[in-house]
Structure 1
Amino acid sequence: MNQYRTIDVARMIGIHVNTVRLYEKCGLIPKPERLENGYRVFTDLHVEQFKLARAALKVEVLQNGLRKQAVQIIKVSAAGDYEKAAALTKKYMEQIELEKENAEEAIRITRDILSGIGNKHAQTDRYWNRKETADYLHITIDTLRNWELNGLFTVKRSQNGYRIYSLEDLQRLKIIRSLRCANYSLSAILRMLRALSDDPAVNIREAIDTPSENDDIITACDRLLTSLKEAGENAIYVAGQIEIMKKMSG
């Protein structure tokens, strides 16, 4: 097996030498042997583990412990337990698929509500107060207030100044709740709602997954569908790396 210095590994992977040392310190690679002069000696196995770690850490979505699972896979692989690492990767990939299903389901619910399928109630002139609305949606009043402050909807007020919610408001809030439960960001939801206001026939899936070029900060949940797709592709690569290192060690 080939041997490499710290600087060699850094150049091969495209990282700083201090990052190489940090990976060692954090247990993300196997502990390298050291020469009598104290210099680290890395092997091809270390290089492959670096590739695995870099791919796994590309995950941007943090919900339901995905990032934590990725780090665990890296550390277990670094410890040489490739069977366990493979099992963890399989579980990780299943979790990503579940998140993707939830994200797609939220979009389907949105389409249904907008088309009237999700509304089984007859039209009514009745209004609900804030507490009734929160109870109906199974959310907190603070959550309602947060959505309003972030511009997701504009609430009407009664003559005495109290906030009141119409059936149309409840339908819009159902959409917001479904998308938030699937971990879409507030900015992504707002972007989609604005797009719908401009064009009711807009492609919901595209609108919610495509940040504007004018957005100052773009998070993974602003492009959730794309981020989950990339996480799944990286997980497949990680699984392949585990098999490569398993053969190298055997």
Structure 2
Amino acid sequence: MKTYKTSEVAKVIGIHPNTVRLYEEWGLISQVERKSNGYRVFTDFHIEQIELVRIALKMEVVQNGLRKKIVETVKVSANRDFDKALILAQEYLNQVHQENKNAVEAICIVKQILEGNTTSDTLCLKRKEVSDYLGISMDTLRNWELNGLLRVKRKQNGYRYYTSEDIKRLKIIRSLRCANYSLEAILRMLNALTANPQINIMEILNTPEDDADIISACDKIIISLQEAAQDAEVIIRSLKDMKRKYK
């Protein structure tokens, strides 16, 4: 079996030797055996595992625990538990597809609002029902309400209830938060949009980080999610190959 020194691994992958050592320290690759002189001895498995790490860490999508899940996938594969790693990778890919669906749905909703299309309020949901329906925690809903992103109506008995228009608004907020807009920027945009549906959204979202309007903001996250899905499929193929060779 071919072996490598730290410097040789770094040269093959194209990274600094200290990065190789960090990957081992973080548990992203299997523990490396050492010679009597203390020098590390890497194998082809370590090379492939580091390539897996590089793909995982380049993924920019971090919302809703996606980054944590893909890092956990890599760590599990470092322990050669490829079956579990494949399950985690598939879960990651499924979640990426769901996040993409959410962002696309938000674009359709915004377009309807901008075109003046509205629907009658037929919904009357409780906070827990909204939380389950949108996949948003109740604490997140409270936070958005406390920050003025949504003003929830109350029945005569004092209980909050959410309407169809509230659900639309929450879906827009959800996708914009995925695109890393601040709560302040979203609030400014929503208030302006409520006052004037024809407002120039690009001007409202005028912060150093915001380089486009609400539609393009969702497009940006969609592109990132599509790239993440492609990378996840590469990881799944790599894990299957590593399982065949190294389990």
Given the two structures, how large is their TM-score scaled by the length of structure 1?
0.67
Q: Tell me which residue corresponds to 1:207.
A: 216
1:1-250 aligned within 5 A: 1-120=1-120, 140-144=144-148, 177-182=170-175, 183-186=178-181, 197-198=199-200, 207-209=216-218, 223-250=220-247
Residue 177 of structure 1 and its aligned partner are, at CA, apart by: 3.5
* Cα distance change, pair 113–42 in 1 and its aligned pair in 2 (3 A): same
Aligned length: 196
- Gaps spanning 5+ residues in structure 1: where? 122-137, 148-170, 211-222
CA contact (8 A) 2:93 2:232 kept: yes
* Cα distance change, pair 191–14 in 1 and its aligned pair in 2 (3 A): farther
* Cα distance change, pair 199–6 in 1 and its aligned pair in 2 (3 A): closer
Residue 208 of structure 1 and its aligned partner are, at CA, apart by: 2.3
Q: 2-side partners of 1:114 and 1:87: how far apart?
A: 41
Residue 248 of structure 1 and its aligned partner are, at CA, apart by: 1.6
Q: 1-side partners of 2:15 and 2:179: how far apart?
A: 32
* Cα distance change, pair 34–108 in 1 and its aligned pair in 2 (3 A): same
* Cα distance change, pair 106–209 in 1 and its aligned pair in 2 (3 A): closer
**1:228 corresponds to which letter in structure 2?**
L
**What SS does the aligned partner of 1:116 have?**
coil
Residue 199 of structure 1 and its aligned partner are, at CA, apart by: 9.3
CA contact (8 A) 1:49 1:241 kept: no
Residue 185 of structure 1 and its aligned partner are, at CA, apart by: 3.0
Identity %: 39
- Gaps spanning 5+ residues in structure 2: where? 122-140, 150-164, 203-211
Given the two structures, how large is their TM-score scaled by the length of structure 2?
0.68
Residue 245 of structure 1 and its aligned partner are, at CA, apart by: 1.1
Q: 2-side partners of 1:143 and 1:199: how far apart?
A: 20
* Cα distance change, pair 92–62 in 1 and its aligned pair in 2 (3 A): same
Q: Tell me which residue corresponds to 2:134.
A: none
CA contact (8 A) 1:33 1:40 kept: yes
**What SS does the aligned partner of 2:147 have?**
helix
